[in-house]
Amino acid sequence: MSELATLPPFKTRAGEALADGWLKTAIDRTTGTARTKRAAIVGQWPDFQVARQRGKAIKDHVVANLGHYLAEFERNAIASGAHVHYASTADEAADLVVRLCKEAGARSVTRSKSMLGEEIGLPHALAEAGIERVETDLAEHIVQLAGERPSHIIWPALHKTREQISELFKAAHDDPHGEETPEAMAASARRFLRVKFLEADIGISGANFLVADSGSVCTVTNEGNAEMTTTPPRVHIVTAGIEKLIPSAAHAATMLRLLVRSATGAALTQYTTFHTGPKRPGDLDGPDAFHIVLVDNGRTRMLADPALKDMLRCIRCGACMNHCPVFNQIGGHAYGGTYPGPMGAVLTPVFDGLEKSRDLVGACTLNGRCREVCPVDIPLPTLIKGWRDRSWREGLEPATMRSGVKAWVFLSTHPRLYRAVGRLGSLALRILGRGNGRIRSLPLAGGWTQFRDMPTPDGPSFLASRAARQRKKP
């Protein structure tokens, strides 16, 4: 469960985000580049849609045979010398990882970015256990120093300015940068984290894919921090959702091509690594022990639910949020859950309950861009609508919304009354906007008119003009 329950209401969070002038620039800069680069590389591949449908079919095949592939992965991972563990819930998973750390006598743990780690609350659990946690992805390092949460699944620190990052680094690094450039700041982080990499007792990573026929864990990074997290320490722990499975390395080719293009617009990440078991006899480096913690946390519930099953295809590329008009206005923090944007609107109700997250499901225009760019064709708007239906059926919508919709249903099923009310409303709006043709405030719509004026209705209503046109026809 995320921190959602402890945060102010969504409307407050969104309002704060909208009032943050820098945030909008930061989001535009990062997601704008991501959109341009993705469009360019996808544009160079005329048959991208064919590959996309193949990727979808591969994930659907895995989801339809999840038990088979999970058992196969477990068998092969154990054969490679890995220890395989299971956790039904987020808390169970976090407890398990903390227990493994304690059993290994760990004082310091390095972590390479994993959204599942965030999902199970691992940062918090390690802190409670008194174990030093060092985030090694540069953005996660920034977010950790700031004491914040990631605001994007690919660029967790996109909300920070370089000035803010500079201050954080100067306060935390022993030998900080002199020049105020991204290059000098990254070099400062390199010096600071290099020591941490080499001194850590345990390295914790996530998984982009779990390869069933070899028991391998695949990670992709551009920084190289995954390998530097998983190689020097005595113990490597992987935390992964059970939906990350793919049948074989051969199937990874299509999935990697789709994932990286959709995430960053590159053909492949700088480092694509398959981790299979611990250090082998004769190996010159690598951990002595390799643990894989496989996490359910709502995934089997999604598997049993036809309205959510499609979401198990998600490969966490972030394209949906880069292309979401709502995310691009409010950014990731306002969503409150582990995953922001459209995929977060679908997943957060699974993890935190619909009652606490029904606002997220409402914060969607259903424009459908997220589905268009989804590399595995997840019908995100349909899944979001599914949650809205459920929120209505379960009586979670507030009384004003319920009575409003009921009034609307009554009106729209009584055409004469509908037209009469329409005429009356139109007349009222015209009177309100008399003079300059703009309405500055409206009863029941204060939230809308606070930031903009409403124009007065122009001419007769749609129904009236349609009726007039039909009368003119011979």
Partner 1 sequence: MSARQDIFGRIAQAIGPARPPAEIAAEAAALLADPEAVRPPTPRGDLGTRFMDAVTRLPPGASVEQIDEMSALPAAVARRLAAMGLEPALKIQPTPDFQALDFQAVGIGLRDAVDDRTSLSLAEAAIAETASLVIRSGPHMPILDAFLPLHHLVAVRRRDILPYLDDFLDHADLARRRNVVIVTGPSGTTDIEGSLVIGVHGPATLHIFVVDEG
Q: Is 46 in the site for partner 1 (CB under 8 A)?
A: yes
Q: Is 273 in the site for partner 1 (CB under 8 A)?
A: yes
Q: Is 109 in the site for partner 1 (CB under 8 A)?
A: no
| Cα gap 145→170, rounded to integer Å | 11
Rank residues 54 and 149 by Cβ distance to partner 1 and give the closer one: 54
CB of 189 to partner 1, least distance (A): 7
| Cα gap 405→402, rounded to integer Å | 5
Name the residue type at position 300.
Answer: T
Q: Pick out residues in 118-147 that bind partner 1 (CB under 8 A).
A: 136-139, 142
Q: Which of 144, 151, 216, 357 touches partner 1 (CB under 8 A)?
A: 216
Q: Is 67 in the site for partner 1 (CB under 8 A)?
A: yes
Q: Is 467 in the site for partner 1 (CB under 8 A)?
A: no
Rank residues 54 and 430 by Cβ distance to partner 1 and give the closer one: 54
CB of 375 to partner 1, least distance (A): 12
Q: Pick out residues in 78-107 that bind partner 1 (CB under 8 A).
A: 79-80, 85-88, 92
Furthest C-alpha separation in the chain: 92
Please give the C-alpha separations between residue 92 and each of 5, 207, 245, in angstroms, as whole numbers: 19, 18, 21
Query: What phi and psi, each to the nearest 5 degrees, are found at residue 295?
Result: -115, 135
Q: Is 29 in the site for partner 1 (CB under 8 A)?
A: yes
Half-sphere exposure of 386 (CA within 13 A, CB side): 18
3-state secondary structure of 20: coil
Q: Is 174 in the site for partner 1 (CB under 8 A)?
A: no
**Residue 93 contacts residue 124 (beta carbons within 8 Å):** no
DSSP-derived letter for residue 137 is S
Half-sphere exposure of 204 (CA within 13 A, CB side): 30
- Which of the stretches 122-130, 152-160, 347-355, 373-381 binds partner 1 when contact is defined by CB under 8 A? 152-160
Q: Is 233 in the site for partner 1 (CB under 8 A)?
A: no
Q: Is 68 in the site for partner 1 (CB under 8 A)?
A: yes
CB of 78 to partner 1, least distance (A): 12
| Cα gap 176→187, rounded to integer Å | 9
DSSP-derived letter for residue 242 is G
Rank residues 53 and 441 by Cβ distance to partner 1 and give the closer one: 53
Q: Is 279 in the site for partner 1 (CB under 8 A)?
A: yes
Q: Which of 99, 194, 406, 414 touches partner 1 (CB under 8 A)?
A: 194
CB of 404 to partner 1, least distance (A): 37
Burial degree of 371 (CB within 10 A; 0-12, 13-18, 19+) = middle
Q: Is 202 in the site for partner 1 (CB under 8 A)?
A: no
